[in-house]
Amino acid sequence: MNSRAAQHFPTVVHLNGERVLWNRLEKKPLENRPEERVRLRFIDYLNLECGWPASRIASEVAVSNQKANHDFRKKKRRADLICYNTQLQPEILIECKAESVKLDTRTAAQAARYNHELGTRTICITNGLTDFWYSVSDKSITRLDSPPLTSNNRLDDIRSELKYWQDRGFAGKVINGNMAEWLTGLLAFFWSDHLTWVRRYLTFPQQLSYLQFNQYYRIAHSDEYDSLKTAFGFLCGLDRKSYLTVIFNRDGENRVVLVCDLEKLLTGMPLESSLYTSGAEKKLNLLDFIPDEFLDYPEKVFTELPGYLNNIMLKYG
């Protein structure tokens, strides 16, 4: 079944000029690895959507092996996530893999081995795209057709506060005027199912002094040009401002990068965007390429935005 974690995003913080993942259960930074991102997204599903108390969710729990000999050269086994019941007994075991990892019988067997020591009644294996849930009894393991958890909180409500997007690196910490309401609504729409664009975490070798591009994006294909793909992302810069970033990819190569300061856009500054191509930077006004109504009705215009912005690619790329 489709993973419920796909609707969530990991919490991030800026430390020493770098954006890193943040485990809000243990209040500590984490290395930005694909498996860690899946685990943090699943924590949000459990805690924010299902209402499972954060105090009863544990990550990277050491799993003992009473039958193994004492060979300390062996790698320690750790369960990715464990949910505890009100009696503080292990209730659910979740094994998390990176999105690129295909879930198979080996993944299920690994989780079952861990659970031999833990004795939970429910097991989930996930790669952030697909979930497999199992019910465990003394004699058998049964695959479930749906998650055994109830979504107590609506995604729309979870995403209705600007802080949700700030904590996940999509919105800056410096927000002025009416920008908070505008940006919150825009991000909620952008990451909803109203847009069918692909969701993907993208990494880039080049970064700017004030902006790191590694983040979740949505990718739109051009109806007119088969070789052109456009990735849209919203990022919090190291300067604590909010940016729209657009990556134009043609024939498998990133040709043009557009970075728009959203506060400057809303306040009508004429040169609010930077265009990077082949190492050169050019300032331009985004409203020269898109309708003015984007500022008042971004949801209406967003589905047509790739078509408008392709003109930038064709002109400068």
Instruction: State the average pLDDT for the chain.
Output: 88
| pLDDT > 80? residue 75 | no
| pLDDT > 50? residue 71 | no
Question: Between these two residues, 217 and 175, which has the higher pLDDT value?
Answer: 217
> Do residues 222 and 230 make contact, with C-beta atoms less than 8 angstroms apart?
yes
Of the pLDDT bands very low, low, confident and very high (cuts 50, 70, 90), residue 115 is: confident
| pLDDT > 80? residue 226 | no
How many CA atoms, within 13 angstroms, populate the side-chain half-sphere of residue 180? 11
Instruction: Determine the pLDDT at residue 65.
Output: 54
Q: What does DSSP say about strands 122-126 and 90-96: parallel, antiparallel, or unpaired?
A: parallel
Backbone angles phi, psi at 122, to 5 degrees: -140, 140
**What mean pLDDT is predicted for residues 256-266?**
93
Instruction: Determine the pLDDT at residue 141.
Output: 84
| pLDDT > 50? residue 81 | yes
Of the pLDDT bands very low, low, confident and very high (cuts 50, 70, 90), residue 165 is: very high
Q: What is the pTM of this model?
A: 0.90
**What mean pLDDT is predicted for residues 137-143?**
81
Instruction: Determine the pLDDT at residue 69.
Output: 42
Q: What is the pLDDT of residues 10-29, one digit of tens each?
A: 999 988 888 899 998 889 99
| pLDDT > 90? residue 104 | no
Q: What is the CA radius of gyration of the chain?
A: 22
CATH code that applies to domain 4-143: 3.90.1570
Of the pLDDT bands very low, low, confident and very high (cuts 50, 70, 90), residue 76 is: low
Q: Which two tokens stand for residue 55?
A: 């105090």
% of the chain with per-residue pLDDT over 90:
56
**What mean pLDDT is predicted for residues 95-120?**
86
Instruction: Determine the pLDDT at residue 309.
Output: 86
**What mean pLDDT is predicted for residues 235-239?**
95
Q: How far is CA 92 from CA 1, 114, 196, in A?
A: 18, 12, 32
| pLDDT > 80? residue 236 | yes
**What mean pLDDT is predicted for residues 78-96?**
92
Instruction: Determine the pLDDT at residue 125.
Output: 94
Instruction: Determine the pLDDT at residue 73.
Output: 41
* List of residues 6+ apart from 45 with CB closer than 8 A: 4, 5, 7, 8
Domain boundary assignment for the chain? 4-143, 169-316
SS3 of the chain:
CECHHHHCCCCEEEECCEEEEEECCCCEEECCCHHHHHHHHHHHHHHHHCCCCHHHEEEEEECCCCCCCCCCCCCCCEEEEEEECCCCCEEEEEEECCCCCCCCHHHHHHHHHHHHHHCCCEEEEECCCEEEEEEECCCCEEECCCCCCCCCCCHHHHCCCHHHHHHCCCCCCCCCCCHHHHHHHHHHHHCCCCCCCEEEEECCCCCCCCCCCCEEEEEEECCCCCCEEEEEEEEECCCCCEEEEEEEEECCEEEEEEEEEHHHHHCCCCCCEEEEECCEEEEECHHHCCCHHHCCCHHHHHCCHHHHHHHHHHHHC
> Do residues 28 and 41 make contact, with C-beta atoms less than 8 angstroms apart?
no
Any bridge partners for residue 233, and if so which? 245
* List of residues 6+ apart from 275 with CB closer than 8 A: 256, 257, 258, 259, 281, 282, 283, 284, 312, 316
Instruction: Determine the pLDDT at residue 313.
Output: 81
Instruction: Determine the pLDDT at residue 21.
Output: 96
Q: What does DSSP say about strands 198-202 and 215-221: parallel, antiparallel, or unpaired?
A: antiparallel
Calculate ∠ Cα 203-205-207, nearest 5°. Answer: 90
